[in-house]
Amino acid sequence: MIRHPEKIKRNNPTELKKPNWIKVKAPTSKEYNDTLNLVKKYNLHTVCQEAACPNIGECWSKKHATFMILGDTCTRACSFCNVKTGKPFSIDPLEPLNVAKSVSALNLKHVVITSVDRDDLIDGGAGQFISTIKYIKELSPRTTIEILTPDFLRKGEVYKSIVDSKPDVFNHNIETVSRLYKNIRPGAIYKESLNLLKSVKNYNSNIFTKSGLMVGLGETLDDVQELLIDLRDHKVDFVTIGQYLQPSIHHEKVHKFYTPDEFKFLYDQCVEIGFKMVSSSPLTRSSYHADEDFIKLKKAI
């Protein structure tokens, strides 16, 4: 099956050589295979696999997986994303319970639950997030829960019902700078993503809000700094910044590989702006070390 039918005629290879600081080893550990078998057992999807995350070997060897609910097919067609696009199947009613069983089996202290975009659903999939949170709380009451949601564009205030189920962190990725949205994130609206994050915080000031972005898509440092200020102005607590890696020649190419020093510069900028938690490195992804970061934050406050 073609994963990205809308991109199949596009030929856009990255011309830059991948630097050694973003090369990772292939996964081989027993723990990695145990995690893989558990995901298969419960017929689940993970963003680790679907998005071809470079950290899958490290994370799964620690038995940390980011579960992706609402199936494996997205109704959007972002030019950076490796998740399959097309017409999704109906929602699996057993998915929330099976995710919770996996979280319990892995004995996770912190779990990240994300999803594909489901513009075809009246609530955008909010109900499936609520059910998943409910079952995790029942089976693993000590596990802290971070959700990484779609933008719920044109779905009204469905985010409120998710916030009412009391996840510990509400994450929605801004992904890229405003100037690049039409090309990189078609179907989404920069200001609406910002407004979702602010609305969550306004609705419940006790919940932590989080967002993430990729660099290397054609933005400038000035663009990134403007975005970071926008996030803080919209009451975002945590931010992650990582290097974009091209999944295939049919996706947006890498325009620049940022150096570790440039990521350190961005980290310092985030701290100065006032984010409570910052992760900025070439291999940073939304859920990379999210458990360790959240535990450190809870101890600090």
If we measure between CA atoms, which residue out of 169, 191, 182 comes closest to residue 66?
169
Total-model pTM: 0.92
pLDDT at 285: 85
All residues at 6 or more sequence positions from 153 whose CB lies less than 8 Å from its CB, including other chains: 119, 124, 187, 188, 189, 192
pLDDT at 150: 97
Query: Residue-wise over 6-24: b if at least 16 C-beta within 10 A, else e?
Result: ebeeeeeebeeeeeeebee
Whether 295 and 247 have beta carbons less than 8 Å apart is answered as no
Asked if residue 65 belongs to a domain, the reply is: yes
Joined tokens for residue 102:
């996996």
Q: In angstroms, rounded to a whole number, what is the distance separating the alpha carbons of residues 19 and 23?
A: 7
Asked if residue 219 belongs to a domain, the reply is: yes
Is 142 buried (19+), middle (13-18) or exposed (0-12) by CB count in 10 A?
exposed
Distances (CA, A) of 196 to 69, 79, 173: 20, 22, 11
- The CATH number of whichever domain residue 159 belongs to comes to 3.20.20.70
Q: Domain range holding 247?
A: 25-300
Asked if residue 187 belongs to a domain, the reply is: yes
Asked if residue 138 belongs to a domain, the reply is: yes
pLDDT at 142: 93
Asked if residue 157 belongs to a domain, the reply is: yes
Asked if residue 4 belongs to a domain, the reply is: no
Asked if residue 11 belongs to a domain, the reply is: no
Joined tokens for residue 179:
């100037």
Asked if residue 208 belongs to a domain, the reply is: yes
* Number of domains present in the structure of the chain: 1
Whether 131 and 71 have beta carbons less than 8 Å apart is answered as no
pLDDT at 26: 64
* Residue pLDDT tens, the chain, 301 long: 567 776 776 788 888 999 988 877 766 778 888 888 888 898 888 877 876 777 777 777 777 778 999 999 999 989 998 888 999 999 999 999 999 999 999 888 889 999 999 999 999 999 999 999 999 999 999 999 999 999 999 999 999 999 999 999 999 999 999 999 999 999 999 999 999 999 999 999 999 999 999 999 999 999 999 999 999 999 999 999 999 999 889 899 999 999 999 999 999 999 999 999 999 999 998 876 666 777 666 666 5
If we measure between CA atoms, which residue out of 97, 95, 156 comes closest to residue 124?
156
